[in-house]
Structure 1
Amino acid sequence: MDHFYVGWGTLALINAGLAQGKNRSGRNWFLLSLFMGPIATLFIVVWDKK
């Protein structure tokens, strides 16, 4: 079960980096990713840069 939390946290960090690359708030997307996980990744990838 611990591996699940490590993977989820890693995904949140990756999402924060992706968001910063698209000129969005990395901190906000990190927090959002903790709750939404892969769905947040989908939103980040699909949305255009600011």
Structure 2
Amino acid sequence: MEAYQYDCASPDVEELARVISDLFPEQTQFIERPAEDGTPTLAVHWVAMRF
């Protein structure tokens, strides 16, 4: 299973997700969604882990 999941329609948003993925723990999901005005937004969901 891949540690990160990218669900982005545009290549620019997916590239942004891949660049910032180093800041998040594994099992992070990046989802591109349109805002109310149609502007693409990037939603980031990750699993919190206890240490």
Class of the TM-score when normalised by the shorter of the 2 chains: 0.3 to 0.5
| Higher Cα radius of gyration | 2
Q: In proportion to residue count, which structure has more strand?
A: 2
TM-score if structure 1 supplies the norm length?
0.34
Q: In proportion to residue count, which structure has more helix?
A: 1
TM-score if structure 2 supplies the norm length?
0.34
